[in-house]
Amino acid sequence: MGIYEQFQTIVYDRVTGKIKKVLPNQYIKSRKKLERLVPPQKGKRFAFFYLHISTPVDPKKYTVKRELLGKAPKLMTLKGDDPLLSFFADEAAHIFNHYAAVLCVFEGGMGDYIDQADVVIELRTKHPGVKISALMDGTRSGALKLLKGFEEVKILTSKDFIRGRSATIDFARITRVGAHYPVGGKVGVYSLIAGLDHPAERAKFSLSPASLDEADLIIEKVCGRPHGKLIALHTMSGSSNTKSLSPEEALKLITPLLKNQDLIFLHLGGAGEVPITHPRVISLQGQLSWEKVVAVMSHCDGCVCIDSAIMHIAQHLEIPTVSFWGPTTPKHILGEDPGIDTVITQAACGGCGQYNCDHCICMAQFDKKEVNRHLKKLAAVMKEGLEE
């Protein structure tokens, strides 16, 4: 049985939530089998659910909380806390203490990949005797290998992977935690899943002279010389994602900066995203690989973006950044020291965690004075940086 096929069967009292018995790797297919394993008692009704972790559960330390009808029951500490992350951390510690090779399975979008790469880099430092490889979308691996400490990680793709054959840290377990992450943001959760007792530090990008020269040529081609100060701009996260800014709203937001004739925006994003019509907003959407995005952004003096991979790249490049937030909340996504300024929607539904909705109003309701204050600060920081 592979390590991720192990589970605990939790049998509990439906009324009190008290755990009656924990049965490792025990499928229960009928009431009769349940009663054979746990004999019925007068006045008590027992139920069960499967907890997909290999770490043993002590019945004296936990209780079961029943959710609304149709919702799965949840294991809780006696204080009412969710113990799932501590289970994940204990399991990861066991893996690194007992296996000579560990595979980290990546999940999510490019921004999530960058957080996970930070974790892998720290794992390699903490466990130098363990061979750590990564399973991921190969189109993103080139950009991740620009991060210091990740360049020597062996990359596998889905065709190389057989589940159950490797000791595995599966970052997709974050989906079982919910959208409201504890202090440390998503990188903090990924760190706990991997057995680290603190959020992984943010790695830095290391770019070769050749890649920097190539980026300079790209910028020279689209901007001409002299090109003034450059701001990386990212406004869309898929055509229907509520994190996105429409071209009209994005143009309104950056208008205070566009009054400065020296500023040029490099509009980054994927193929098919809608460009902004303005002579100093240059669309590079769909034209660059992730490696070239990183290299081009390294030449930028600032960044204006949504909650996206571009924001995470700007963080790691330590570029002064202003980011706009609607359905997501900075404290749930970013670490304690995000290194960027955040502007949060004024909409009552802000922070709902839903990436698709039927009204999409949150990214059109920002306080104008707050926006102008953050952009003015960004302009001042860029000017200061250039004068040093």
What is the tens place of the pLDDT at every residue in 181-209? 666 889 999 999 999 999 999 999 999 99
Count of structural domains within the chain = 3
Contact 204, 130 (CB under 8 A): no
Mean pLDDT of the chain: 90
Q: Which domain holds residue 329?
A: 209-387
Whether 204 is covered by a domain: the verdict is: no
- CA 284-286-290 angle, 5° bins: 90
User: What pLDDT, on a 0 to 100 scale, did the predictor assign at position 10?
Assistant: 94
Same-domain check for residues 24 and 97: no
User: What pLDDT, on a 0 to 100 scale, did the predictor assign at position 106?
Assistant: 97
Same-domain check for residues 237 and 277: yes
Q: Which residues of the chain have pLDDT under 50?
A: 1-4, 387-388
Same-domain check for residues 103 and 135: yes
Query: Tell me, what CATH number does 277's domain have?
Result: 3.40.50.2000
Same-domain check for residues 179 and 310: no
Whole-model pTM: value is 0.86
- Residue 131's DSSP bridge partners are 101
User: What pLDDT, on a 0 to 100 scale, did the predictor assign at position 239?
Assistant: 58
Whether 202 is covered by a domain: the verdict is: no
User: What pLDDT, on a 0 to 100 scale, did the predictor assign at position 13?
Assistant: 93
